[in-house]
Amino acid sequence: MTELTETLELKLVEPNAHKHRKLCETKRAYQDALEAAFNANCTTQTEANDVVVNYDLSGYAKNALKKYVPQLCGGSYDAKELHDDHPVRFTNEGPKLDHKPQNAIEWYVKIPHHDDYNLWLPAQPNPEQRKWLEALHAGDAKMGECRLFDRCGEWYLHVVATRDVEERTSSASETPIGVDIGEASLVTVCHRDERGSPATPNLWNGEGTRVRQLRETYFTATRRLQKRGSERIAESYGDSLWRQIDDILHTVTSEVVAYADQFENPVLVLEDLTHIRENMDYGAFMNRRLHGWGFGKMHAQLRYKAAEKGIRVETVNPAYTSKTCHCCGEQGYRPDQATFKCSNSESQLCTLASAVE
């Protein structure tokens, strides 16, 4: 069994004026409590509790704050300043799901306002996550932390869910499918044909170009807006661009898994990028581009989508992979980025050109 984790997104459907006001009150109280605990430099849950206990919030929001603030203050994040628009976090005991398939809007969520008052709201889930939502409602998945977002007056609830799935058993007849995540080509995928030779790679070049354009627009536009003092506009505009990028990443990773699923006993082979960010040093411009790239996000999406299909995932050490011949295993060289030459002169098959980044 493999444990999968997925963040489910539900859009709260047009809260009326009363419920919208209550959601805004919850957000405002949460932001005030977070700022107070952060400014007090609360590095333990006890210290955070002494601050947030005085705010008009549900116990589920206070308990989430007690865990989160110490991470900000010298813990996991060691933040030097506080962003002014954090989502409202709740521990998993607070929000609840209800399913009414007979209604036009099937799903409803309970949002804790404060200890003796909750808001039930209709919610529209991401259609691709319906199976996850049904598993969560049926008790076949576990609910984790939940986060309430306000995006330009529209409210969203993110729910972290985990569940166990069966893995396909390992087999000698597996079909390895190499997956390279890059910048010029967002993803390059290749497998060996029935003769054992590398097949023509599948490349997602257009998607890589589009993501680069969106990211460059984000950095340029938000920098200009921030210089003008329009931080909230910059934040809203940035959220819109990153949602477009997320949509592209989800589409591409789904296509990669669908590509793998056409083969018998496929296994996705990914590079182990655990320390990729620590090892990057290509100058300020390239570092900014690469550190913001969605390596980890795409890895996570490929893993859980593959697991849902029962496809096994392996990781390999990326050292020298771009200089190793796929035909004979000898180490070669690259006269330029798009061309590989094998040092094995005995086989003409070992001089290859590939359209990689």
Q: What is the mean pLDDT of residues 163-188?
A: 76
State how far the Cα of 260 lies from the Cα of 178, in Å rounded to an integer. Answer: 10
Decide if 175 is inside a domain: no
Neighbouring C-beta atoms of residue 104, cutoff 10 Å? 6
Contact 268, 253 (CB under 8 A): no
Q: 134: which 2 tokens?
A: 């049904």
Decide if 171 is inside a domain: no
Last residue of a domain, one of 165, 195, 218: 165
pLDDT band at 281 (very low <50, low <70, confident <90, very high): very low
Q: 44: which 2 tokens?
A: 């333990």
Residue 115 is given by DSSP the state: T
Decide if 261 is inside a domain: yes
pLDDT of residue 291: 41
Range of the domain at 336: 320-357
Decide if 155 is inside a domain: yes
Decide if 148 is inside a domain: yes
Q: In terms of domains, do 144 and 39 share one? A: yes
End-to-end Cα distance, the chain? 35
Decide if 170 is inside a domain: no
Whether pTM > 0.75 for this model: the answer is no
pLDDT band at 85 (very low <50, low <70, confident <90, very high): confident
Residue 281 is given by DSSP the state: -
Tokens 């030779």, residue located: 197
Q: In terms of domains, do 6 and 153 share one? A: yes
Q: In terms of domains, do 123 and 96 share one? A: yes
State how far the Cα of 120 lies from the Cα of 112, in Å rounded to an integer. Answer: 9
Decide if 94 is inside a domain: yes
pLDDT band at 290 (very low <50, low <70, confident <90, very high): very low
What are the tens digits of pLDDT across the range 113-161? Answer: 876 789 999 999 988 888 889 889 888 899 999 999 888 788 999 999 9
What are the tens digits of pLDDT across the range 217-264? Answer: 877 777 776 677 766 666 666 677 778 888 888 899 999 999 999 988
Q: How many domains does the chain have?
A: 3
Decide if 34 is inside a domain: yes
